[in-house]
């Protein structure tokens, strides 16, 4: 049986090596396959809480695709916490990762609406000026 300090040290080492925000389930799976340490997802979550209190890791909730539900006029998604090592991953890099995940979930929701023949309620604006110009050109040159 490993002590909690050893598990935290392995988690920090893994997160420093991977350098990408991860969920606690992904961390538990990586520990199981790379370091041969069997810990539950709840145990990883508790240890991540201690590491966050010490300032070694940080977290951000992010929507995850799966079983969306309708609440107060909008589709809602379940969320998961994505954790990252503060020394290995910068805050701006982590926020870009979270934003990309959120846009991916919203795109899947729009595709889900379209495949069911429903109108799409939330359309994304073009993300860059080049894309905006391309959309304007296409709108002007419509037959």
pLDDT for 67: 73
pTM of full prediction above 0.95? no
Classify 54 as helix, strand or coil.
helix
Q: How many domains does the chain have?
A: 1
Domain, as residue range, for 128: 4-140
Residue from 65, 58, 141, 138 nearest 107 by CA: 65
pLDDT for 124: 58
- We report the CATH number of the domain holding residue 39 as 1.10.10.10
The answer to whether 39 touches 7, Cβ cutoff 8 Å, is yes
Residues of the chain with pLDDT under 50: none
């Amino acid at each position: 049986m490993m002590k909690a300090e050893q598990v935290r040290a392995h988690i920090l080492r893994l997160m420093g090596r991977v350098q990408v925000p991860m969920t606690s389930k992904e961390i538990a799976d990586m520990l199981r396959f790379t370091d041969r340490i069997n810990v539950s997802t709840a145990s990883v979550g508790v240890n991540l809480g201690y590491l966050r209190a010490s300032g070694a890791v940080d977290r951000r909730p992010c929507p995850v695709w799966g079983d969306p539900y309708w609440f107060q006029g909008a589709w809602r998604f379940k969320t998961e916490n994505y954790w990252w090592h503060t020394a290995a991953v910068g805050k701006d890099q982590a926020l870009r990762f979270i934003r990309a995940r959120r846009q991916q979930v919203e795109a899947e929701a729009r595709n889900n609406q379209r495949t069911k023949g429903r109108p799409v309620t939330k359309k994304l604006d073009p993300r860059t000026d080049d894309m905006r110009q391309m959309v304007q050109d296409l709108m002007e040159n419509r037959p």
